[in-house]
Amino acid sequence: MKINQGRVVFERADLHFLESFGPVKAIETILLHQNDVPFAYDTWQLAALLGTNNRSLWKILRDVDSRYRDYSILKKNGKTRRISAPDPALKSLQRAINRKILMPLPISKYARAYFQGAKISENAAPHVGKKVLLKLDLTDFFGSIRFDRVLSEVFHRKRYPKQIGTILTSLCCRGDVLPQGAPTSPAISNLVLRHFDDVFGAWCERRGFSYTRYCDDLTVSGNASLYPAYQKAKRMLEEAGFRINRSKTRFLTNANRQTVTGLTVNEKLAVPSDYKRKLRQEVYYVLKFGFENVLQDRFPKDVINAGGDPYLYVPQLHAVRLPLEIERYRSVLLGKIDFVLSIEPENRFFREAKNRLVFRNCEDETE
């Protein structure tokens, strides 16, 4: 079904909808229910919207919770994070939901992650030069967002009939919660937290504070005591079903190094000096000895993993795989340099290092 300048064009997937309502009533229903999401009144229309057919949609729905593969990844603090990855068929539907329904929906101006064009620098910039910084972290972020909340706040009756809203919620949840690993979970979290972000952000602005949220990391800054902001956020979040991780709660004055999403904000936006120091060392080794020698385990592993970036270290590389690993490593290293230059575009060392690494790669290819 397509709507063009008030004209409704029906397609094959709309036949059951037309049979149920008749042409006139069907058109009236569509025009009356135009809102911020694509129209879908029954499962045939929903399946077409998601790029599948009715039979395949119901097949996935019958065992949706078993269509995940669980595994764990190691976090920087040594603990593990559980990931629930959907199988290809379910992931395809989730990506369609994300692209066609979720991403176009408006989110709070205080949310700085999980949308096209999101930058950590824009999350950190409002907090530059503030006397006091409050950093909060939410425990089990996605796992705290329940099925009923996704249904009532994202796929609610103003957007979709109850059956369609329930199906969409089932496709995005595993059991009773959002799974970490589903393509839809990040966008849904922004939508669920929109009310909190808007209310708490406006409360902060009235008091001269700055507030931003990057995923489950909340930051408040100002030039006066931020304890009232902590109390306000804690109360509102607990009422919404979230818990603050007390072990990660930080009050930082400008006498200490203040960082927001990995960037220093004391006087200006900058990349932490220890990150740049390790990256300079890594660049030095590559320029002096070459990508191949660095990858062949002739230097410490922490050199390869400077700055804590996720890179799969391969100690003994087979000759056939070596060119691929060199290209991969080169991309990672250049990505680190581009990150520094995105924050510090006038950094002479890394501007020159980038040019030399690109040139070095061309030399390696001609040898």
Write down the pLDDT at residue 317: 43
One-letter identity of residue 121: S
Give pLDDT tens digits for 18-48. 888 888 888 888 877 767 899 999 999 999 9
Give, for 70, the enclosing helix (H) or strand (E): strand 68-74
Q: Are strands 263-264 and 217-222 parallel, antiparallel or unpaired?
A: unpaired
Q: Are 130 and 222 in contact (CB under 8 A)?
A: yes
H/E element, 199:
helix 194-206
Q: How far apart are CA 310 and CA 26, in angstroms?
A: 52
Cβ neighbors of 31 (< 8 A, separation 6 or more) are: 3, 6, 8
pTM for the full predicted model: 0.84
DSSP 192-261: HTHHHHHHHHHHHHHTT-EEEEETTEEEEEESS--HHHHHHHHHHHHHTT-EE-GGG-EEEETTS--EET
Which run of H or E residues covers position 253? strand 250-253
C-alpha to C-alpha distance for 303 and 285, rounded to whole angstroms: 9
Amino acid at 304: I
Residue 152: per-residue pLDDT: 96
What pLDDT is attached to residue 322?
60
Query: Can you tell me the distance from the alpha carbon of 357 to that of 336, in angstroms, rounded to the nearest whole number?
Result: 12
Distance CA 89, CA 75 (A): 28
Asked if 210 and 127 count as a contact pair (C-beta separation under 8 A), the reply is yes
The answer to whether 230 touches 249, Cβ cutoff 8 Å, is: yes
Burial (CB count <10 Å: 0-12, 13-18, 19+), residue 364: middle
The token duo for 182 is 């589903």
The whole-number pLDDT of residue 26 equals 84
45, 39 Cβ separation under 8 angstroms: yes
Q: Which residues have a Cβ under 8 Å from the Cβ of 186 and sit 6 or more positions away?
A: 113, 114, 215
Rounded (10°) angle between helices 322-343 and 273-289: 140
CA distance 51 to 100: 11
Longest pairwise C-alpha distance within the chain: 75
Q: Residue 125 is which amino acid?
A: A
Q: Which parts of the chain have pLDDT scores under 70?
A: 1-6, 34, 77, 296-322, 359-367
- Tell me, what's the pLDDT at 350? 93
Residue 358: its pLDDT value, please? 78
